[in-house]
Amino acid sequence: MMRRLRVWTGAALLGVTLSACAADQIVTPDEYTRLTPGMTLVQAQQVVGDQGQPVQALAGQAHRWENADGSFAQGTFLAGRAVDFDQEGLLAEAGSKSKLKQLRKSNRR
């Protein structure tokens, strides 16, 4: 009986821990590669599955989706359409632009 209680307690704690880890990850590398110029803010929010936060922009509107570890994706929108997306910490920094192009091409297929 006591052993069964410990097993259930351990399983419950593991479930809570895994849920918390998933909640910390708002935007994933895969979602970032599916964000493309020309989409609307609503479309970008649908890809990420989160509303994100508006941030200060020099021109137009910028929106950021930030994870608990500090990694983020950010989009700049002019006239209601995305003109650029940037990220930090989601993709390997070395060659991330060329890696991003390859990933976006493979996502179109």
CB 82 within 8 A of CB 44: yes
pLDDT band at 14 (very low <50, low <70, confident <90, very high): very low
Distance CA 57, CA 53 (A): 12
Q: What is the pLDDT of residues 51-88, one digit of tens each?
A: 999 999 888 999 999 999 999 999 999 999 999 999 99
Percent with pLDDT over 90 in the chain: 57
pLDDT at position 92 is 77
User: Which DSSP letter does residue 61 get?
Assistant: E
Determine if residue 95 is left, alpha or beta; phi over 0 gives left, psi from -120 to 50 gives alpha, anything else beta: left
* pLDDT above 50: residue 19: no
Decide the pairing of beta strands 61-66 and 53-55. Answer: antiparallel
| CATH T-level assignment (fold) for domain 26-108 | Beta-lactamase Inhibitory Protein; Chain:B, domain 1 (3.30.1450)
Region 19-44: mean pLDDT is: 86
